[in-house]
Amino acid sequence: MTLDIFLQHLLNALQWGSFYALIALGYTMVYGVLLLINFAHGDIFMVGAYVGFFIATFLLGIFSNAAAPLPTWASLLILILTILGSMVITGGVGVGIERVAYRPLRERGASRLYLVITALMIGILLEYLNLSILGAADRGFPELIQTKIYTVGGVSFTNIKLLVIGLAILVMVILELIVRHTKIGMAMRAISYDKVAVPLMGVPINAIISATFVIGSALAALAGIMYGSAYHVLSFDMGILIGWKAFISAVVGGIGEIRGAMVGGFLLGFIEVFVVALGQIPGFEWLSSTYRDLVAFTVLLVILTIRPTGIFGVARRQKV
């Protein structure tokens, strides 16, 4: 594998890993605060993509002019409005689910098992709501950014790829700063350690939990729009497999840890892309792309066997 081919795959891996990482953040934040695995989160990603689709289509309808192509400022404006709009609405959906489905259970002191099962049901509900309302046909996500291909040396990449990677890294840095250095972040970490003592600090627990769901869901929406911009196909079940894989990324990275979600997401992206890439090299032809998931999950299993709490995770002491 020559250097430029390697770099090419590296960029692909970073982009692919960005989706996992952005979704994994939502899993890991909710888990960090509530010790709840929010299995509906993959479908929140789907909701975010669809909300983005509708906003973008609507805005394109307003701005479009049959006579002339859209000026750059207009398409940029549409992109920004689509991202912000979908993040806000999807954040609302996430916190709405929390209020309607999870909080009543928590307030009755239900075991976490029931919460996890409820989350699974909410996920299925979202999928089939979509299917029954919008029908089975896939949607084509509009091209919000004119795809441009750059070539440096032997490596070619699109502006969308750079945008996805850049946004993902930016978001993770911001999030890490919030969790480490703001009072809300401190409260999130404190809740994960001891829920009984947190209200004694004057911290409104429910508001912090809502904020966690809003942030996690908004990031899934961002991932959804980026995914739509990169691959242009939306379907009602698009969140299932990617959601599961993002969840596994979060666990491998150390669930509850922001850095863990990032590293786990990129790691899974790398393994998947490079397994396929290796299959193209003479001598490795047997490694066809059908081996991708097999190899990826074998590696992750090995990591978990060596470090059951994940790469960055620390064992929680069970307090009585």
Partner 1 sequence: MLLEVKDLRVSYGNIEALHGISFHVEEGEIVTLIGANGAGKSTTLMTISRQIPHVAELGGRVTGGSILYQGEDLLQYEPHQVVSKFGISQVPEGRRIFGNLTVLENLRLATYARKDRDQIEKDLQRVFDIFPRLAERKNQLGETLSGGEQQMLAVGRALMTRGRLMLLDEPSMGLAPVLVRDIFETLKEINAEGTTILLVEQNANMALKLAHRGYVLETGTIVLEGSSAELAANPEVKKAYLGG
Interface residues with partner 1 (CB under 8 A) are 106-109, 183, 186-187, 189-190, 192-197, 199-205
Determine whether 118 is exposed, middle or buried from the number of CB atoms within 10 Å of its CB (0-12, 13-18, 19+): buried
Q: Which is nearer to partner 1, 188 or 277 (CB)?
A: 188
| Least distance from partner 1 to the Cβ atom of residue 184, Å | 9
CB of 316 to partner 1, least distance (A): 9
From CA 43, how far away is CA 224, in angstroms rounded? Answer: 10
**Least distance to partner 1, CB of residue 314, Å:** 8
**End-to-end Cα, the chain, rounded Å:** 55
Q: How many CB atoms lie within 10 A of CB 316?
A: 11
* 76/207 with CB nearer partner 1: 207
Kindly state the tokens that stand for 147: 């795809």
How many beta carbons lie within 10 A of that of residue 296, not counting itself? 21
Which CB atom, from 189 or from 307, has the smaller least distance to partner 1?
189
Nearer to partner 1, 192 or 280 (CB): 192
Q: Pick between residue 204 and residue 308 the one whose CB is nearest to partner 1.
A: 204
Cα separation, 67 vs 71, in Å, equals 12
> In terms of CB distance, is 154 or 199 closer to partner 1?
199
Task: Rank residues 32 and 253 by Cβ distance to partner 1 and give the closer one.
Answer: 32
For the CB of residue 206, give the shortest distance to partner 1 in the complex, in Å.
Answer: 8
CB of 194 to partner 1, least distance (A): 5
Nearest approach in angstroms of CB 121 to partner 1 is 21
Minimum CB separation of residue 266 from partner 1 in Å reads 25
**Under 8 Å between Cβ of 268 and 248:** yes
| Residue 153: Cβ-neighbour burial (10 angstroms; 0-12, 13-18, 19+) | exposed
Which CB sits closer to partner 1, 68 or 320?
320
Q: Is the dihedral of CA 128, 134, 136, 140 positive or negative?
A: negative
**How near is the Cβ of 111 to partner 1 at its closest, in Å?**
11
**Separation in Å, CA 108 to CA 102, 112, 174, 211, 253:** 10, 11, 35, 21, 32
The full DSSP string for 165-187 is: HHHHHHHHHHHHHHHHHSHHHHH
CB-based contact 53:139 (threshold 8 Å)? yes
User: Using an 8 Å Cβ cutoff, are 119 and 39 in contact?
Assistant: yes
